[in-house]
Chain A
Amino acid sequence: MTSLGTFIEIFLQALIAGVLIGAIYGLMCVGLGIIFGVMRVINFAQGEFLMLGMYFTFYLVVGFNMLWFLGPIVGPYTGALLAGPALFAVAYVLHRFLISRVTGISVAGTEGEGHYVQLILTLGVALVLQNGGLILFGSTPQSVRTPLSARAWEIPLLYDANASLFLNKARAVAGVVSVVVAAALYWLINRSRLGKTLRAAADNASAAIYMGIDVDRAYRIAFGIGIGITAIAGGLVATYNPFQPYIGLDFVIIMYAGVVLGGMGSILGAFWGGMTIGLVQQLSTLVLPTQLQNAAIFVVFLLIVMVRPQGLFGRATERV
């Protein structure tokens, strides 16, 4: 095989991997996008909820084996989807008793809009969840294995009989499910009455109150949805990636980079932002050693924040 052929094969492999991972990152970013991009709430613990989604799926499917009746393939993915409502409930309660003290009407309009306090508070929550997770779940890496985890589809490349692309089945299915969930969320936010109510509350809280909308409740629901979506993404990641309680940290920067890249206030933007980050991460392995692929993401994040803080889809009036 010619070196060009090899290069194309490696490139396409990275590209495919990037798209698949990008879809899952996109879903994660959508979750954060609802909270950070739309509600303007800083949630430093978003990565920890991703982690909790992973562990929820793990315990549901593997630990307690409660979905045995769905079989070894459908079971895990259903488990991942169920992580959504479960973490929604957790987030709803967390918001009610903790987060709402530092967000919403009471701080809207104050200096910095309460962001400093949100940062610190959610940092505390993150530390508790991370290390609480360590205590509860132990530090041994876990994973939710399915028959798909170790198999791949082979797509032969036409120009050479020996060249082909490998699509890890688990990743591919996870990617597809991510897109489906993201699409469902998009429909919910843009077409349903609940979605419009949430958008109105996020757009202009005082006007929403004038309309008769209970803004506090809207914020709580939005927060819950944001966390739930990220938890589902976590459950999906769990099907092909081993995880331990500290894994949330790896993803926090990815999520924020994706949301900022995509533009604040845009859910669609958050998805594309996550997709882009996934592509950057995978394509960077073509030129950088693998250990530095995450460093590449940080560099990208820093560049975005400094050069184009409104992101690809955001409005230019966003404050820096």
Chain B
Amino acid sequence: MQVRRKLIAPLLVIAIVAIAWISLGMVVTNSYYQLMLTLVPIWAVMGLSWNLLSGYTGLISFGHAAFFGLGAYTVTIALVKFDITPWLGIPLGMIVGAVAGIVIGYPTFRLRGVYFALAMLAYPMALLYVFVWLGYQEVPLPMKREEPALYMQFSDYRVYIALAVGLLVVSLLISLAVERSRFGMSLTAIKQNEPAAEAAGIDTLAWKMRAIMLSGAVAAAAGGLYAVVLLVVTPDSVFGVLTSAQALTIALVGGIGILWGPLIGAAILIPLSETLQAHLGDVIPGIQGVVYGIAIILVVLLAPEGVFWRVRDQFQRRWATRAVQATPLAPHIVTAAPAPATPRKPILALSGISKSFGGLRAVTNVSFEIGDSEIVGIIGPNGAGKTTLFNLLNGFLQADSGKVVFAGRELIGLKPNRICRLGVGRTFQVARAFPRLSVLNNVVVGAYATTTNDADAFGAASAALTQVGLFRRADAIASQLTNKELRLMELARALAGRPRLLLMDEPLAGLASQEIEDMLAVIRSLAARGMTIVIIEHTMRAMVRLAERFVVLDHGAILAIGQPSEITNNGSVIEAYLGKKWAAIRARS
């Protein structure tokens, strides 16, 4: 299995890092360096937790200090007030962190971009004020003389190093499990293009909630261990902006969206800033913050996704095989069936669909039926409402009135990922690929909605690639595909969900004539296998040979429906395209 083979390498690396680190910890005697060896893993864990939410989904959180602080205070209060050992306190803190994740995530995920980041910023700041008010200005952890080990207090510092490495290994394993499973792939799809992910059947809200729960739990664990190591907790040190900034910077500098990133980032930044703080901290207080600030600025301008990706991209560029100009493919085609004489059973029926935006009537009273395995073209002059219609069918927009019935099910009111799972696939005008992943991994995301395990998902993806004739490129890196191959890959992603109805939005735009012929052949083969295809297109010369029927929209309303030869001679259609009085003007001249 493709996935399992690749797990050995990272597991090995994790093991080596852990063993090396602990060995280093065993020999170091200087207490300052011992502290450093403890802090680096803790902050790396913090960076990993940030990555789990923001690195993978692209929703930038400025407030991970909230989880960190809650974890720290849970451990502290549990010990101080209830005499509960941190061995229990840390898991308890993780639960608190996960719950906080749910409580914070549910309302905040409705926000986008900067609003999300600002809201996330507000949470730890609010918590800071609350904890100050509650009187927890500075809470030292009490020393336990009897049975210190029971309370996670050790005289030999090296145990702390081992604990920190232990937590790091657990976090790395969690991140690895997420990354290499459909969890991580779904998050990546969300980051790349959330609407497309929804349309491919991914329940975006559910995955985001899972991510923030996990992220909160891991950050809380880091906070809990931090409290144990430092033995004193203040609101500012755990809820402060610098804490959130550190989590973010470590992941950002090291590499976003990959488990090695925070490790690299922590290994670079923590020693750097702690050393500067130790040597210059008295003379230049605040040097830590300046270093972080400059690091952020440099990274954002020079290596926006972090050191790891920058270095890896450089290597890949040198070793990558150049994409060969694709010779005409041999897709799995069946010669196109002639237009059937008997009418087909309708599979999609629209009646009275209307949609307005403010005062603008985008779609007015549209009704038509599409038969099973028909190829229908939706055409019309610019701005006629064609893409709006698709968005209505897909669930991205809610119609103001009317019904859409697909294979006996009413579609109005359903979310896009639900509609996808019912068997409606969609390709978009602008194909958004995951540039660093292989073609197969790009396509497999489309299969998640209809399969339960990874083996089936990859099987469906491979079948889809075969259908479009791209199977021999399955292992190529997506950034090296030609335009036509990208289009076919986008198509394969939609096909991986095994749809019965496929909505294609301008699949031929910008392609050269031979590439258009190849696309037409693929589309015809899909229809011959029983798929119903509805296409928005402007490339009329190709469409008159492909479509069995046209639905012509103008100003949001249906102008005409019929076979190509009828439509191209229909007076009102000609007028819609060529302008009023076209025939009259010609007759006169």
Contacts and interface: CB of A to CB of B under 8 A. Distances in A.
Contacts of A135: 284-287, 290
Interface string A280-320: 00000000010110110011011001100100000000011
A253 B122 CA distance: 7
B517 to A, nearest CB: 32
Contact of B294 (A119, A124, A301, A302): A124
Contacts of B117: 42, 119
A43 to B, nearest CB: 10
Given A120-B60, A132-B290, A320 B295 contact: no
B133 A119 contact: no
Interface string B127-169: 0011011000000000000000000000000000000000000
Contacts of A169: none
B126 A298 contact: yes
Contact of A298 (B112, B114, B125, B289): B125
Contact of B300 (A124, A127, A253, A320): A124
A98 interface: yes
Nearest to A120: B300
A245 B130 CA distance: 23
Contact of A42 (B114, B123, B294): B114
Interface stretch (A11-19, A83-91, A110-118, A188-196): A110-118
Given A130-B286, A291-B132, A102 B300 contact: yes
A294 B235 CA distance: 15
Given A120-B296, A253-B125, A101 B301 contact: yes
Contact of A320 (B112, B130, B248, B296): B112
Nearest to A288: B133
Given A127-B245, A306-B111, A320-B112, A253 B285 contact: no
Interface string A107-147: 00000100111011101111111111111000100000000
Nearest to A118: B114
A309 B115 contact: yes
Contacts of B248: 120, 123
A254 B58 CA distance: 26
B190 to A, nearest CB: 13
Contacts of B132: 291
A292 B118 CA distance: 19
B386 to A, nearest CB: 22
A319 B112 contact: yes
Interface string B91-130: 0000000000000000110111111011101110110011
Contact of A121 (B113, B126, B284, B297): B297
Contacts of A240: none
B292 interface: yes
Contacts of B242: 127
B96 to A, nearest CB: 19
Contact of B118 (A132, A256, A294, A319): A256
A121 B286 contact: no
Contact of B133 (A124, A127, A253, A292): A292
A120 B252 contact: yes
A249 interface: yes
A115 B114 contact: yes
A115 B59 CA distance: 11
Contacts of B133: 289, 291-292, 295
B296 A124 contact: yes
A249 B289 contact: no
Contact of B129 (A112, A129, A295): A295
A127 B113 contact: no
B241 interface: yes
Given A123-B296, A256-B118, A291-B132, A249 B241 contact: yes
Contacts of A133: 286
B571 interface: no
Contact of A128 (B111, B113, B293): B293
A306 B118 CA distance: 12
A102 to B, nearest CB: 7
B293 A253 contact: no
Contact of B286 (A102, A112, A134): A134
A117 B293 contact: no
Contacts of A245: 286
A236 B158 CA distance: 53
B471 to A, nearest CB: 30
Contacts of A309: 111, 115
B352 interface: no
Contacts of B129: 291-292, 294-295, 298
Contact of A127 (B107, B108, B296): B296
A320 B130 CA distance: 28
B60 A124 contact: no
Given A115-B114, A116-B58, A320-B111, A305 B119 contact: yes
Nearest to B54: A116
B297 A124 contact: yes
B288 interface: yes
Given A253-B125, A295-B129, A131 B111 contact: no
A275 B125 CA distance: 21
A120 B290 CA distance: 14
Nearest to B301: A101
B366 to A, nearest CB: 24
A295 B241 contact: no
Interface in A226-266: 245, 249, 252-253, 256, 260
Interface centre among B107, B115, B294, B295 (most CB of A within 10 A): B115
B402 interface: no
B304 interface: yes
Contact of B292 (A101, A127, A134, A260): A127
Contacts of A289: 133
B286 A253 contact: no
Contacts of B304: 117
Contacts of A102: 300
A139 B113 contact: no
A127 B130 contact: no
Contacts of A124: 292-297, 300
Interface string B295-307: 1110011001000
B293 A127 contact: yes
A320 B115 contact: yes
Contact of B113 (A112, A253, A256, A301): A112
A196 to B, nearest CB: 26
Given A134-B285, A134-B289, A298-B122, A121 B296 contact: yes
Given A42-B114, A119-B114, A119-B117, A295 B130 contact: yes
28 contacts: A112-B113, A115-B114, A119-B114, A121-B301, A123-B245, A124-B292, A124-B300, A126-B293, A127-B289, A127-B290, A128-B297, A129-B293, A130-B289, A131-B286, A131-B287, A131-B293, A134-B286, A135-B290, A256-B118, A291-B133, A292-B129, A295-B126, A295-B133, A298-B122, A298-B129, A305-B118, A306-B110, A320-B115
The 3 nearest A-B residue pairs measured at CB: A131-B289, A127-B293, A124-B296
Interface of B: 58, 60, 62, 107-108, 110-115, 117-119, 121-123, 125-126, 129-130, 132-133, 241-242, 245, 248, 252, 284-290, 292-297, 300-301, 304
Given A123-B248, A131-B287, A132-B290, 10 more contacts: A101-B301, A115-B114, A117-B300, A117-B304, A123-B245, A124-B292, A124-B293, A134-B285, A298-B129, A301-B119
